[in-house]
Amino acid sequence: MSTELQQYLQLQRERIEQHLATVFPTNWPIPVRLREAMNYSLLAGGKRLRPIFVLAAAEAVSGDLEATYRALPFAAAVEMIHTYSLVHDDLPAMDNDDYRRGRLTNHKVFGDAMAILAGDGLLTHAFYIVTQAAAIGVPAERILAVTEELARFAGLIGMVGGQVNDMQGEQGLTSIEQLQEIHLHKTSDLISFSLRAGGHAALASDHQLDAFERFGRNIGLAFQIQDDILDLIGDSDKLGKAVKSDERQQKVTYPYLIGLDESKRRVAELTDEAHALLHQAKLAKAEKLHEIADSLLVRDH
């Protein structure tokens, strides 16, 4: 990754962190422990990939980094949705994980009941934050579109639906189509949403929004396949988790279903297509999106 891109990502990450620190108004009488539980998971760091896509998409359409401040509420909202999904996924009734990114999971610190309510609170408040874009000049029709899309991409035929399919498919999964369907909804949908939301903030055309959505699909899928590959061939430094864990858990992965070489070929194919989609979208300044896509999908493994 170039130093320039690293600096860009760092800058965007700082803007996002600063904004996330303000999403629960200090003058709201939120129960103290609820506020703590939500902040524990929301302000736990991480790559902030989804909100960075929101800002980068807005910049790509407008051509102006400063103009992306209108997209900040949408960036915060998608990170809140991502965070709530992790908090609920980690619950004993779901994946029953004790640690995430080296820290105790939310329910291990605050208890199961509070973790459920903190997740519900983050999910509900994400929609509140979306509406706050009105105060910084985003037109009502665009905010309405973002609200509808957030509810769709994070909902029944998006992330929540993907979780259900993943949970139910853990045993009987056999085809690459089924696996792709799960990844699309578990991972790609929120990335597609992020790009569309950034586009809306910068008043993107329908054609641009459509290209963003398909770009997000490709990137999300490629990212997931690569994750499967790295998990298999072992690169514990890059992944920050024990390698071959998928194999140990007998999880069905891309390499398991179609082999390692074919998996690598798919990553390259999806990435090429993603770049082509951006070119077709006639964006004012797409270079950062191209660079981010490439940085996520290093092919030299």
Q: By CB under 8 A, name the binding residues for a second copy.
A: 24, 28-31, 33-35, 38, 84, 88, 91-94, 111-114, 116-117, 119-121, 123-125, 127-128, 130-132, 134, 140-141, 143-144, 147-148, 150-152, 154-157, 160-161, 163-165, 167-168
Closest to 19 in 3D by CA, of 68, 84, 89: 68
Q: Closest approach of Cβ 248 to a second copy, in Å? A: 22
Distance CA 219, CA 269 (A): 11
- Shortest distance (Å) from residue 92 CB to a second copy: 8
Rounded least distance, CB 201 to a second copy, Å: 15
CA 258 to each of CA 54, 126, 262, 266: distance values in angstroms, whole numbers, following the listed order: 32, 38, 6, 10
Nearer to a second copy, 59 or 89 (CB): 89
By the 8 A CB rule, do 214 and 186 touch?
A: no
Query: What is the CA 12 to chain-centroid distance, rounded?
Result: 15
CA atoms within 13 A on the CB side of 123: 16
CB of 136 to a second copy, least distance (A): 14
Smallest gap from Cβ 156 to a second copy, in A, equals: 5
Q: CB-wise, 73 or 216, nearer to a second copy?
A: 73
Residue (of 151, 226, 222) closest to 190 by Cα position: 151
Of 134 and 298, CB closest to a second copy? 134
In the complex, minimum distance from the CB of residue 139 to a second copy, in angstroms, rounded to a whole number: 8
Q: Which two tokens stand for residue 290?
A: 């191209």
Contact 86, 119 (CB under 8 A): no
| Residue whose CB is less far from a second copy, 59 or 189 | 189
CB 84, min distance to a second copy, A:
8
Residue placing its CB nearer to a second copy in the complex, 53 or 110: 110
| Least distance CB 111 / a second copy (angstroms) | 8
Q: How far apart are CA 255 and CA 259, in angstroms?
A: 4
150 contacts 78 by C-beta, under 8 angstroms: yes
Please say which residue, 24 or 223, places its beta carbon nearer to a second copy. 24
Rounded Cα distance, 281 and 283, in Å? 6
**Paired tokens of 12:** 């965007």
Query: Which residue, 164 or 233, has its beta carbon nearer to a second copy?
Result: 164
Contact 62/202 with Cβ under 8 angstroms?
yes
Q: Which is nearer to a second copy, 144 or 239 (CB)?
A: 144
Is the Cβ–Cβ distance between 72 and 55 less than 8 Å?
A: yes
Is the CB of residue 84 less than 8 Å from the CB of residue 123?
Answer: yes
